[in-house]
């Protein structure tokens, strides 16, 4: 039998290095809250961070940026930058961290099937410690929202209202008896709106006057967020079926759910481009369309061919174009005179 040249030239040191790099990569994925991990983490702070899934903070932080842009009143001054960073802290590490922690708390039986290495099903952290973390993150987020309302001189505490309202949505998404995630449509739309509309409203309200047009547009844009949320359901099909959760892949099958997912993502982004054309923001519309084209390409290359194997690869390839498209819409709205107050 012919010997593989690469294996023949490998030394024990090379093999050890490769194994160490693979282990470090797996630990990093675990810490960020991504699929694929290793057991054995003992640092309580790393375990707490893993519960908060830092990888999920990014869309919320970006949503605040898009909202600030759409307000038309953000300026590059020290106080505005610090206020924006505080709003990102509220939306990302604090309230998204709360959302992810409470989701893991109520999903511990599901995770025992789908992701047994997660902190709670693996026994790395006790339920009492998780409950304390939930309350610290929730109260921290609401406190920051109160401070932001004071900074913005709001007569009505809109940032606090958004923080409390979003936290309630997060709770009923994960917790019985409502547990919205049991329904693939309601649960994924709640998730999509929480990732697009809510942080956008917060960023817009912090620097400007939140208005009906922005609310409606972002709620529609959240339908694309619903499609993104469905991508996460493909890794959990086995556990969802076992526990009776009606995710779209369970209800419609993997192939049909994959098409529903990509159509929601593409159609509602295209709808935003059509709106920009209608208000004569043609350059922004063209830029947004240019962001949709590579997403469709990656959908065909990866996701539609094998959504179970390529979900993470697809998200890493396509989502940067979606979030840039969000900012394009935000900048367009920020330069539309009748939206600026």
pLDDT single digits (tens) 149-167: 999 999 999 999 999 999 9
Higher pLDDT, 77 or 18: 77
What pLDDT does 41 receive? 60
Contacts of 77 (CB under 8 A, 6+ apart): none
Report d(CA 205, CA 71) in Å as an integer.
Answer: 7
What's the mean per-residue pLDDT of the chain? 89
Mean pLDDT (whole number) for 169-179: 94
Nearest to 245 by CA among 317, 180, 158: 180
The pLDDT of residue 132 is above 80: yes
Mean pLDDT (whole number) for 252-271: 96
* 3-class DSSP state of 183: strand
What pLDDT does 33 receive? 57
What is the DSSP-derived secondary structure letter of residue 94? Answer: I
Residue 110: band (very low, low, confident or very high) from pLDDT cuts 50, 70, 90: confident
CATH class of 42-339: mainly alpha
pLDDT single digits (tens) 309-340: 998 899 999 999 999 999 999 999 999 864 54
Q: For the chain, first and last CA: distance in Å?
A: 76
What pLDDT does 37 receive? 52
Mean pLDDT (whole number) for 162-179: 95
Residue 118: band (very low, low, confident or very high) from pLDDT cuts 50, 70, 90: confident
Residue 1: band (very low, low, confident or very high) from pLDDT cuts 50, 70, 90: very low
Nearest to 54 by CA among 97, 103, 116, 102: 97
Report d(CA 199, CA 192) in Å as an integer.
Answer: 11
What pLDDT does 340 receive? 44
- The answer to whether 115 touches 121, Cβ cutoff 8 Å, is yes
Higher pLDDT, 146 or 315: 146
What pLDDT does 7 receive? 46
pLDDT single digits (tens) 15-73: 455 545 545 555 555 555 555 555 556 788 899 999 999 988 999 999 999 999 999 99
Q: What is the pTM of this model?
A: 0.87
Quick one: tokens of 25? 């990569």
The pLDDT of residue 116 is above 60: yes
What pLDDT does 30 receive? 59
Cα–Cα distances in angstroms (integers) from residue 121 to residues 25, 105, 135, 244, in the given order: 22, 9, 20, 19
Cis amide bond preceding 177, omega within 30:
yes
């Amino acid at each position: 039998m012919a010997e593989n040249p690469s294996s023949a030239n490998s030394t024990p040191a090379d093999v050890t290095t490769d194994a160490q790099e693979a282990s470090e990569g797996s630990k990093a994925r675990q810490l960020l809250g991504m699929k694929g991990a290793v057991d054995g983490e003992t640092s309580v702070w790393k375990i707490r961070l893993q519960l908060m899934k830092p990888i999920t903070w990014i869309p919320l932080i970006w949503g605040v940026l898009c909202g600030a842009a759409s307000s038309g009143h953000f300026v590059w001054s020290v106080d505005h930058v610090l206020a924006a960073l505080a709003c990102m802290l509220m939306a990302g590490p604090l309230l998204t961290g709360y959302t992810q922690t409470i989701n893991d708390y109520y999903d511990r039986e599901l995770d025992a099937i789908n992701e047994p290495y997660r902190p709670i099903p693996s026994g790395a952290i006790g339920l009492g410690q998780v409950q304390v973390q939930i309350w610290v993150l929730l109260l921290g987020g609401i406190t920051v929202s109160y401070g932001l309302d004071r900074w913005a001189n709001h007569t009505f505490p809109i940032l606090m209202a958004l923080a409390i309202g979003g936290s309630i949505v997060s709770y009923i998404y994960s917790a019985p008896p409502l547990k919205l995630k049991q329904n693939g449509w309601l649960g994924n739309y709640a998730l999509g709106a929480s990732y697009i509309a809510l942080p956008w409203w917060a960023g817009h309200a912090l620097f400007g006057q939140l208005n009906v047009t922005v609310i409606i547009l972002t709620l529609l844009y959240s339908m694309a967020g619903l499609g993104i949320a469905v991508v996460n359901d493909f890794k959990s099909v086995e556990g969802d079926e076992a526990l009776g959760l009606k995710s779209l892949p369970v209800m419609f099958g993997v192939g049909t759910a994959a098409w529903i997912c990509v159509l929601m993502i593409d159609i509602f982004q295209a709808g935003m481009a059509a709106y920009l054309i209608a208000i004569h923001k043609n350059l922004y519309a063209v830029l947004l369309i240019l962001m949709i084209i590579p997403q469709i390409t990656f959908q065909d290359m990866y996701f539609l061919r094998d959504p179970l194997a390529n979900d993470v690869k697809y998200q890493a390839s396509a989502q940067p174009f979606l979030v840039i498209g969000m900012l394009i819409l935000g900048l367009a709205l920020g330069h539309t005179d009748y939206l600026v107050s």
